[in-house]
Amino acid sequence: MDVEARLSLLKQVGEEIITEGELKTLLETKEHPTAYDGFEPSGLAHLPFGVLRPILVEDMLKAGVRMKLWIADWFAWVNNKMGGDLEKIQEVGRYFVEVWKAAGVDMSKVDVLWTSDAAKNEEYWKKVVTVAQNSTLARAQRALTIAGRTSKEAIQAAQLFYPMMQVADIFWLDVDICQLGLDQRRANILAREIAEKMKWKKPVAVHHHMLIGLQGKKEPEGFDENSALDAEIASKMSKSKPETSIFVHDGPDAIARKINSAYCPPKVVEGNALTEYSRYIVFKKRKSMKIERPEKYGGNVEFYSYDELADAYLAGKLHPADLKKGVGDALDEIIRPIRVHFEKDPAARRLYDAVRSTEATR
């Protein structure tokens, strides 16, 4: 695959690339650059984690990028996830690995690494301190939005470690690319600035789209000074709001119930949860979307691209109820192998039960 084809693949991954020129140069000079994506173990897997992220990993691998999947267990600990119980957090991390396997990630082509292993090394903490020495308290507080904290929230002193550690991770892992969500851009921008100051390797940032929740687009909540980005972060699908999220363990009935209550105004695709899932998941995993409907409403119809579906929806040729049915059926088909894996594999089932039990009692 030539450089242009590889670049095209990575542009499909990144809604924002800082910078495209640097990324092209990297691909021209390095056949297999390294990238990382970080995951804070914090509960059951939903669409963004269990389906969208594996899609992005697959595209990165196709482009010749070597992926490091960073299980950020100490970050979840600092962030008081799973009741602040590190052992339970690490159990979620093991569950995450099982989700990736079930979702079809080729585990032979990725490196799974843990923050807790890095934390045993003195050199890791030297990186963290160096990052902190080259930042300010105000900058660290502003960057706390990467931990899902708004600027209005009270924070613990321990949480100030979060952005310093995340920036240090980039240099500790020695990656060329930071492949994270748009909500993580503050850490990546700080990393690029510190890299210039310290003469360290400056990472390219490839920020992927954040999948919106079933509620659709929300108003800004104080995550970022940029109101558009703020609204995007506020709107993302959140595991902490189960009724606005679809999980990889949801059965057909649960998916249909949630989809039927989703924000899906007629003739509108912007901020529409169902057109968004079509674009970022269904047409990434399927060559077409078939929608079954009675003859009196036009009969069955099949779309072979997101643009084709969006055009029909904008023109009023596709009713919201029909779109919901089509997307719901497609998502169930896509999720089913993951769900079945956890139902049939005893070890995977034990991990799922443990995580579900912890979430229910914390």
The residue ranges of every structural domain in the chain are 3-214, 246-361
Reported as a pLDDT band with limits 50, 70 and 90, residue 225 is low
Q: Is the dihedral of CA 150, 152, 154, 157 positive or negative?
A: positive
Q: What are phi and psi of 11, to 5 degrees?
A: -70, -25
Flag whether pLDDT at 240 surpasses 60.
yes
Q: What percent of the chain has pLDDT over 70?
A: 94
Q: Hunting for tokens 């709107």 — which residue is that?
A: 235
Cis peptide before 19 (omega within 30 of 0): yes
Per-residue DSSP letter, 211: P
Reported as a pLDDT band with limits 50, 70 and 90, residue 324 is very high
CA 278 to CA 289: how far, in whole Å?
8
pLDDT at 241: 78
The answer for residues whose C-beta is within 8 angstroms of residue 97's C-beta and 6 or more apart is 71, 107, 112
Prediction pTM value: 0.92
Identify the CATH number of the domain defined by range 246-361.
Answer: 1.10.240.10
- Mean per-residue pLDDT, 101-126: 96
Question: What is the number of other CB atoms lying within 10 angstroms of the CB of residue 133?
Answer: 10
Identify the CATH number of the domain defined by range 3-214.
Answer: 3.40.50.620
**Least reliable range by pLDDT among 3-7, 69-73, 143-147, 234-238:** 143-147
Q: Which of 15, 10, 22, 24 is nearest to 62 (CA)?
A: 10
What tens digit of pLDDT does each residue of 274-299 get? 999 999 999 999 999 999 888 888 89
The answer for residues whose C-beta is within 8 angstroms of residue 81's C-beta and 6 or more apart is 40, 41, 42, 43, 89
* Residue at 301: amino acid letter: V
pLDDT at 1: 85
pLDDT at 361: 41
Per-residue DSSP letter, 210: P
Asked if 217 and 235 touch (Cβ cutoff 8 Å), the reply is yes
- Specify the 3-state DSSP secondary structure of 72: coil
Reported as a pLDDT band with limits 50, 70 and 90, residue 168 is very high
Q: Which of 236, 284, 276 is nearest to 259 (CA)?
A: 276
Give the E-state strand segments of the chain in sequence order: 16-18, 34-39, 66-71, 110-114, 177-181, 204-208, 289-291, 301-303
Q: Hunting for tokens 């649960």 — which residue is that?
A: 254
DSSP string for 295-355: GGGT--EEESSHHHHHHHHHTT-S-HHHHHHHHHHHHHHHHHHHHHHHHH-HHHHHHHHHH
